Amino acid sequence: MKVVIVCKSVSHGNTQRVAEAMAGVLDARIVTPDQVRPGELADYDLVGFGSGIYNMNFHRDLRKFVAALPGQQRGRAFVFSSSGFPEPPLRRYAHDLARRIEGKGFEVVDIFGCRGFDTWLPLRVIGGIRKGHPDAADLAAARAFAEKLQARTTSTS
């Protein structure tokens, strides 16, 4: 199975560590949105899309990348993120990104999120929240998620 993870990790490297944990299981290549052309994703069996969460949304560069994907592209995908806060019920940003990816012809098979150290402006005053995250348990959960993805995508191929 050929896997690529498109990851935008900016502030503290939280999402990069999550991507690396998943990539270790999936034997995946990790790229930033500017390191791969949208059309190249057709060469992969599984594509991960992830970033940290900024103002209750995925990073602008990742959203622009998804918007630039050619229509009718086929394959399986997953969405992942790290954030200081869980996804709120009234602002389902991970599900929104998944719908946009599905609109480009992918089958989004699952979504993963974990806590990450967050120093967004008002939180910076108190030194941030979720210090030490993603921690060993978070990264173990990311690896377990990747194992489930691998089992699901290879059994249905």
Look-up: residue for tokens 């229509």? 71
Instruction: Give me the sign of the Cα torsion angle 67, 26, 57, 93.
Output: positive
* pLDDT > 70 fraction of the chain, expressed in percent and rounded: 82
**For the segment 107-151, what is each residue's pLDDT rounded down to a tens digit?**
999 999 886 656 556 655 445 546 665 778 888 989 999 999 998
pTM reported for the whole predicted model: 0.87
| Helices of type H across the chain | 14-26, 60-68, 93-102, 121-124, 136-155
Q: What is the CATH number of domain 3-155?
A: 3.40.50.360
> Is 106 within 8 Å of 98 (Cβ atoms)?
no
- 113 forms beta bridges with 81
In whole angstroms, what is the distance from residue 116 CA to residue 101 CA? 24
